[in-house]
Amino acid sequence: MSTPDKLAKAFDKTTERYREIERLLADPQIIADQGQYQKLAKEYADTTPLLNALTEYRKCGLQIEELNKLLSEKHDADLESLASAELAELMHHEKILIQKITELLNPSSQDDDRNLIIEIRAGTGGEEASLFAGDLYRMYTKYAEAKGWKVELMSAGPSGKGGFKEVIFSVNGKKAARSLRWESGAHRVQRVPETEASGRIHTSAATVAILYEPQEVDIQIEPKDLKVDVFRSSGPGGQSVNTTDSAVRMTHLPTGMVVTCQDERSQLKNRIKALRVLRARLLDKMQQEVIDKASKDRKMKIGSGDRSEKIRTYNFPDRRVTDHRIGFTTYQLSKVMDGELDELVEALHKAETEGVLA
């Protein structure tokens, strides 16, 4: 299917949904349900720029068609010159509109400014995997710092040698989600561990989960669906960190999801953080179910969020980083580990943008 045909189909589909939302927003039953009303109002607001761009694209196409018809007929040189100049401007404008619509049609672009919760867990490789999980945490936090984004530690399970068995943190900043949304998956490292006396190269892994932090209207949790346990927080090796019952273990009974937060001295703050993480995980579960259903019909490589997919290898002997989803390799390993991720991010963004209309 050609690009004009795809955009014509998108115009019809978007217009139909836009009118449907307008009708729903005028329904007294929807107005009475504020949660549903707010979700529809947000969708209406998000759909408006796309419909406007598609409408402008259609208008631009008609003008181009008229000018081509005009130029096919015989006219004086001045008129042909003016028509040719106007046609060139319209065709340039059409290209810009196609790029804009491509980005608007990409659902992930609507989430560019959403807050994120990032979970990193040590995988195969023992203590070396924990150290690598710590390296990834430092990589992301350095990148966020360079971009001026706010990072907040939610929960951490440190290992004995300075790494993490698990670390959860939030990232809040303009375009943070645009840059980091592809990081979900298994990250593999190949290097000589500090603990390896013989100098042999080991392969270890850590998994990264990128979760969008929802608003309360996106995910509503009933109090009856929660079981909350409190206990005293502890550090590596089990030593006591706090002498009060400030740590919180929150269980979502319908799904069995468990979130533990113990980094704050305040039980209330730990409760709030645990609830934020739980909401993000529940939203992610809903999104994964949609992805799984869609994947039965087509393979979605970029941004699929598949936790088991090996997405990237960090090879220290060759100073090489390879993203397997797009076949992109850079030999700037030290810069990447220091948080300079723009080269990788832009390569992924380009690959995704080029594939949106395919």
Assign 357 a pLDDT band (cuts: 50, 70, 90). Answer: very low
- Asked if 276 and 345 sit in the same domain, the reply is no
What is the C-alpha separation between 194 and 116, in angstroms, rounded?
32
Residue 190 lies in a domain: yes
Please give the residue that has the higher pLDDT: either 288 or 20.
20
The letter for the amino acid at 297 is: D
**pLDDT of 30-77, one tens digit each?**
999 888 888 889 889 888 998 999 999 999 999 999 998 888 887 788
Residue 67 lies in a domain: yes
Residue 298 lies in a domain: no
- Asked if 41 and 75 sit in the same domain, the reply is yes
| First-to-final CA distance of the chain | 9
- Asked if 116 and 136 sit in the same domain, the reply is yes
Assign 111 a pLDDT band (cuts: 50, 70, 90). Answer: low
Please tell me the total count of domains within the chain.
3
Residue 255 lies in a domain: yes
**pLDDT of 295-314, one tens digit each?**
444 444 344 434 456 899 99
- Asked if 257 and 316 sit in the same domain, the reply is no
Residue 189 lies in a domain: yes
Instruction: Please tell me the pTM assigned to this model.
Output: 0.63
- Asked if 183 and 309 sit in the same domain, the reply is yes
- Asked if 202 and 262 sit in the same domain, the reply is no
Residue 247 belongs to a domain with what CATH number? 3.30.160.20
Say what the pLDDT of residue 1 is: 61
**pLDDT of 164-188, one tens digit each?**
999 999 999 988 988 998 899 999 9
**Domain that residue 46 falls in:** 3-105
- Asked if 17 and 159 sit in the same domain, the reply is no
Residue 120 belongs to a domain with what CATH number? 3.30.70.1660
- Asked if 276 and 314 sit in the same domain, the reply is no
Residue 184 lies in a domain: yes
Q: Tokens representing 119?
A: 């979970």
Q: Choose the final residue of a domain: 244, 275, 293.
A: 293
- Asked if 96 and 149 sit in the same domain, the reply is no
Mean of pLDDT values over 146-161: 90
Q: Choose the final residue of a domain: 293, 313, 345.
A: 293
Residue 195 lies in a domain: yes
Say what the pLDDT of residue 301 is: 39
Please check the confidence at residue 222 and state whether its pLDDT lies above 50: yes
Residue 87 lies in a domain: yes
Say what the pLDDT of residue 101 is: 87
Q: Are the CB atoms for 317 and 298 separated by under 8 Å?
A: no
- Asked if 119 and 71 sit in the same domain, the reply is no
- Asked if 166 and 77 sit in the same domain, the reply is no
Q: Choose the final residue of a domain: 240, 263, 293.
A: 293
- Asked if 62 and 132 sit in the same domain, the reply is no
